[in-house]
A and B are shown apart, each in its own frame.
Chain A
Amino acid sequence: MINILGITVIIVYFSVLIGIGIYGARVSLKTREDYFLAGRGLGSIAVFMALFASNITAFTIIGHAGFAYEVGYGAYGYVIGWSIFITPFTFYLVGYRSWLLGRRYGYATQPQVFGGIFNSKLVALLFLVLLLYYTLPYLVVSIIGGSLAFTTISDGVVPYWLSSFIIIGISLIYTIPAGLRGTVWTDIFQGTLFLVVAVLLLAAVARALGGFTEITERIIETNPAMLQRELSEKIAPINWFSFSFINSIAVIVFPQMFTRILAARQSSNLKRVSLYYPLAMAGIFAVSTLLGVWGSIAVPGLTGKDADNIVPLLIHQFLSPAWMILGLVVILAVVKSSIDSQLLSFAHLVTDDLLPRLKRVSSGQAVFFGRILLVVFAAAAYYIALVRPAAILSIAAFAFSGFSVMLPVMIGALYWPRANKHGACAALILPAIMLHLWYLGVLPEWTTFGFMPVFPAFILAILTLVIVSYLTAPPPAEQREKTFGIFDKVFKYEEKSAEERIQPKSS
């Protein structure tokens, strides 16, 4: 497998990434805003590829295909269906208003935006702690998943510890010198590579299995249950409904996604992104769904975790060794594009929202500390990925739900002037505690009324925000004006202009 072609492809791939890192460092300014937000100058393609590539993980091509292998075509709608619409909608619902405040007041992170809206250091601190708390396990699980896939697809030639080291090490090569600009440029390169190779891979597997129609007819003949959602317990309606509240609405809460929205140059960039995003996500998950379902016929009999190996197995059994090289590069691209953005977000949050609480730091110092923290967090993540402590992995199981239940506070802050800091604090803390009690088995299952815990926790967050806000004093008028005055000027601009146009005529 390790032949001249393979080595050449991998050297070219790494050289492009290193080149991007070197060039990114040369054009970047040594200011906090330039390093962490690319000077708020990202265009449509850059924001789109940054959001798309950052949100694609090893699960997309490996885990999801394994899920489709087990449950059939219904896996497509279950995992990505609601996301196709609601994720880009949250770019409007939360992203645009946050972007406006970011441009106006210089906010760069969620603690700054929502701490600023509520004029509360405690709200900012809660956002900081919860985001770090859920991001770390999510980051570690991404590394573990990517490293296992890398080891599997290399047929064990690259051991697990080396896979993790390569994945983290290469991410740092361009992230440390070039910051967000470096990760975004590599996202454009890696996201494009991923999309192209995924489509080619689907076509190659289809060809090897006799063609699209031929495989589908075989599925209908031998395993028609793959077509019927009603026959799969895993995607039963109550799970299907509950799952709408997990990954799809959590995306905008991920700090790496939120920051990329704030880094957009213009509002029109975000509009275009929200139109491209459904097509890209639906496309990439369609590929992994089809590979998984086809795999159930081509390589039958896999169960449990073994089903997650279906894509490497399809490549192994039906395609030439050259595809394995492309597979390795794609796995690297997919995993690194999410890990680099998570590492940078982690360093960004600590540099921008924790360090200033401890000491005064200049813009240049912030960049320096950010780079140091990147190395420290990468080393910590590598260690945790090797040791795999049970506590971290159990938090990862509900990290997505943890992000999701923070969304009501974000929406309340941006749309409801009566929401106050007391309501926000309670609505951040209480659902987080309940999620832990449910997922760690402290509370009995019946207390979720049959839903996944995220749904009752989400409703609890809404109720807590409303009730506690009403029971306590409303925010001061000047504080509300600082946020909602901006929104009135933007969203009611046309109305006011029309009224002003009518006024002179009537007088």
Chain B
Amino acid sequence: MKFKVRLALVAVIVLVMFILHNSFWLWGLDDRVPLLFGFMPFAFSFYAGYTILAVIAMRAIITLAWPEPPADLLQPAGSEESAEK
């Protein structure tokens, strides 16, 4: 897969997460959805779920577009202090 396509997929993930955070049309459910575990109303439990989704989204972004750098690239260019201890 071309890197530009991967970046586009990352952008889609970010957009979906942004829309979910700003999903004002769901606010009407705040007093209608049953409590989660007996103490989490929807305005709270939504973000418990959102947290799990955020971890999955970051995992997907890492897989899609976060490559490890080639080892030779990390050699400092001309800084004597940058050498690994």
Interface residues of A (CB under 8 A from B): 29, 31-34, 39-41, 72-74, 76-77, 80-82, 84-86, 88-89, 92, 96, 100, 103-106, 212-213, 215-216, 224, 227-230, 237, 240-241, 244, 267-268, 271, 274-275, 278-279, 282, 286, 289-290, 363, 486, 489-495
Contact = CB atoms under 8 A, between A and B. Distances in A.
Contacts of A39: 84-85
A85 B58 contact: yes
Contact of B76 (A84, A103, A275, A278): A103
Nearest to B17: A85
Nearest to B57: A85
Nearest to A289: B44
A229 B50 contact: no
B28 to A, nearest CB: 7
Contacts of B77: 104-106
Contacts of B46: 77
A363 B65 CA distance: 37
B59 to A, nearest CB: 7
Interface in B26-54: 27-28, 30-31, 35, 37-39, 41-44, 46-48, 50-51, 53-54
A227 B21 CA distance: 17
A489 B14 CA distance: 25
A296 B38 CA distance: 19
Contacts of A84: 47, 50-51, 54
Given A227-B41, A244-B18, A267 B47 contact: no
B38 to A, nearest CB: 4
Contacts of A32: 81
A107 B28 CA distance: 49
Given A106-B76, A278-B54, A282-B48, 12 more contacts: A77-B50, A84-B54, A85-B21, A85-B50, A106-B77, A106-B78, A229-B43, A267-B66, A278-B55, A279-B55, A286-B48, A491-B65
A412 B75 CA distance: 25
Nearest to A282: B51
Contact of A74 (B43, B67, B82): B43
A106 B79 contact: yes
A80 B43 CA distance: 13
20 contacts: A39-B84, A40-B82, A85-B21, A89-B61, A92-B58, A92-B62, A100-B73, A216-B35, A228-B30, A237-B22, A240-B24, A244-B18, A267-B69, A268-B68, A279-B51, A282-B51, A489-B69, A489-B73, A491-B3, A491-B67
Nearest to A280: B51
Nearest to B46: A77
Contacts of B62: 92, 271, 274-275
Contact of A492 (B3, B22, B51, B54): B3
Nearest to A293: B44
What's the dominant secondary structure at chain B's contact region? helix
A111 to B, nearest CB: 16
Nearest to B61: A92
B21 A244 contact: yes
Contacts of B18: 82, 86, 244
Chain B interface size range: 35 or more
A104 B72 CA distance: 10
A86 B21 CA distance: 11
Contacts of A213: 35, 38-39
B70 A489 contact: yes
B81 A494 contact: no
B84 to A, nearest CB: 7
Contacts of B53: 85
B3 A275 contact: no
A86 B18 CA distance: 9
Contacts of A486: 73
Contacts of A31: 81
B81 A240 contact: no
A96 B66 contact: yes
Contact of B31 (A104, A227, A240, A268): A227
B73 A104 contact: yes
A490 B58 CA distance: 19
A230 B42 CA distance: 13
Given A84-B47, A213-B39, A489-B70, A106 B82 contact: yes
A110 B23 CA distance: 35
Given A216-B39, A244-B18, A230 B59 contact: no
B47 A76 contact: yes
A495 B74 contact: no
A129 B70 CA distance: 35
A77 B47 contact: yes
Given A85-B17, A216-B41, A227-B41, A494 B67 contact: yes
A41 B83 CA distance: 11
